[in-house]
Homo-oligomer: A and B are copies of this chain.
Amino acid sequence: MLTEDLRQQLISVVGQKWFLDSPNELHAYSYDATPLLQSIPDAVIIPSSVQEVSMILRMANEHRIPIIARGSGTNLAGGTVPVQGGIILNMNRFNQIYEIDEKNLTATLGPGVITADFHAAVEAIGLFYPPDPGSMRISTIGGNVAQGAGGMRGLKYGVTKDYVMGLEYVLPTGEVLRSGGKNVKDVAGYDLTRLMVGSEGTLGVITEITVKLLPFPATKRTLVVYCHDLYDAARIVEQIIAAKIIPATIEFLDQATMKVVDDFAKLGLPLDMASMLLIEQDGAEEQVMQDIEKIAKIAHHVGAAEVHMAATIEEGAKLLTARRSALSALSRLRPTTILEDATVPRARLAEMVQEIERVAHKYNLQICTFGHAGDGNLHPTCMADERDHEEIERVEQAFEEIFHASIRFGGTITGEHGVGMTKSKYLHLKVGEGGIELMERLKAAFDPNNILNPGKVFAKRDRHRIVVRQS
């Protein structure tokens, strides 16, 4: 796909050192964290400035070469897999925090900054960037923005899209645009900033991000609740909200997940329990204690088997870490772990978990469910073996039923992972054919030659996963 001439032109933009196309290098960039999806790119380029990105895009657009922007490759929906070949644009050299503006409570940074590093930098000066996706120790802010990533603090604090105030991004023509800025209020023209967030690399390549910050909460407390019954857990969540308390996070683990996590993290969890809730509240000391006490009362009242407040912030952190490592723990069981992202309105939580159990039983699969009970964003996770094609068929059918159930319950096909490659077949369930057609017209307005991450979001293609594509 890349003529030698074009290859040389691209090398002259970034320098030989930052242009990779040996077989091993291409192989390393042919997959991300999505199971069962792999495709070889034609080249990997690692630019260091918006001017380089602009030149690369302009050349790619001229020659109709796909461009796939990539951060750390933790994408779970195939978002960074180059399914039509092309150039992987590794944005990791954009890894500086340009400014933390303490007066305006904003920060401006490159897309390649690791999210957890950004947390550390702002927390060191008493500030707070709440979005905490599960991948945060590895993933980049740019990846979070492209996907509209969520996290555990979504219930109280919102998600990535609630924090992006401004962007610099590059169109396929090489044009560099800026949207938004440091202004809390700005209604000048269409909200292109928000259109770009969650656009999964299909509308432009993001080169700079300005986010909103909050003051760091004074303290936090963690409560763990064990339930005999799945519906008890759901009722507790419901009654917390009905009591007008909004905790920072309410995390849910089903029994199957508890067993696996406990084996991994050795926490001594009571494994005869049907489910557990991890609840965290942050803020001023007095308010936090009040809220946690009220929540404990609610849990007891509903009939929780056990309610335990973490004695220290460290113990609370340890419990939260166990929840964060649910995916890693589950991944140990079998060769292939498919983590999905079915989301329903909070009030339908228990029904959805039951539905997932029904589907798992129907297709004779091992599916564990954990997730963000506070905002209805569940992660049904299936342990399988991709070498068993018959099993993988059953996995695909099971998840299709699960997505249909989410929609039936008033939910969505993806709460935080994105549509990518793996859910494009289901997008119409959420937005309708008319919605898809409109989105395709918007895409064409940004990228008429369809070079930006082609084949993603609303590609009309069969769901079957693509095997390694030889170049």
Contacts and interface: CB of A to CB of B under 8 A. Distances in A.
Interface of A: 101-106, 126, 147-148, 150, 154-155, 158-159, 161-162, 171, 175-179, 181-192, 194-195, 197-199, 203, 214-216, 238, 241-242, 244-246, 283-284, 286-287, 290, 343-347, 372, 374-377, 410-419, 423, 427, 430-432, 434-436, 438-439, 441-442, 444-446, 457-458
Given A148-B191, A190-B199, A439-B192, A343 B185 contact: yes
9 contacts: A101-B345, A104-B346, A159-B184, A162-B162, A181-B410, A184-B374, A187-B412, A194-B194, A287-B287
A187 to B, nearest CB: 4
Q: Which 9 A-B pairs have the closest CB atoms?
A: A215-B244, A185-B415, A184-B375, A441-B445, A194-B194, A148-B187, A103-B347, A188-B430, A186-B412
A446 B123 CA distance: 43
B187 A417 contact: yes
A450 to B, nearest CB: 15
A106 B348 CA distance: 14
Nearest to A217: B244
Given A177-B438, A432-B177, A410 B187 contact: no
B435 A189 contact: yes
A187 B457 contact: no
A181 B409 CA distance: 11
**How many identical chains are in the complex?**
2
A438 B434 CA distance: 22
Contact of A427 (B188, B241, B418): B188
B103 A410 contact: no
A104 B373 CA distance: 12
A242 to B, nearest CB: 7
A183 B413 CA distance: 11
B412 A188 contact: yes
Contact of A419 (B189, B198, B346): B189
A105 B182 contact: no
A415 B104 contact: no
Contacts of A186: 343, 412, 414-415, 430
Nearest to A377: B185
A244 to B, nearest CB: 3
Contact of A189 (B105, B377, B457): B457
B413 A188 contact: yes
Given A185-B375, A186-B415, A286-B286, 19 more contacts: A103-B346, A104-B345, A106-B345, A154-B185, A177-B431, A178-B431, A182-B345, A183-B415, A185-B412, A186-B343, A187-B198, A187-B417, A189-B436, A189-B457, A190-B195, A190-B203, A191-B194, A215-B244, A445-B445
A24 to B, nearest CB: 33
Contact of A188 (B102, B176, B191, B414): B414
B159 A189 contact: no
A338 B367 CA distance: 62
B432 A438 contact: no
Contacts of A214: 246
Nearest to A106: B345
A170 to B, nearest CB: 11
A187 B445 contact: no
Given A177-B434, A290-B284, A147 B187 contact: yes
A103 B238 contact: yes
A98 to B, nearest CB: 14
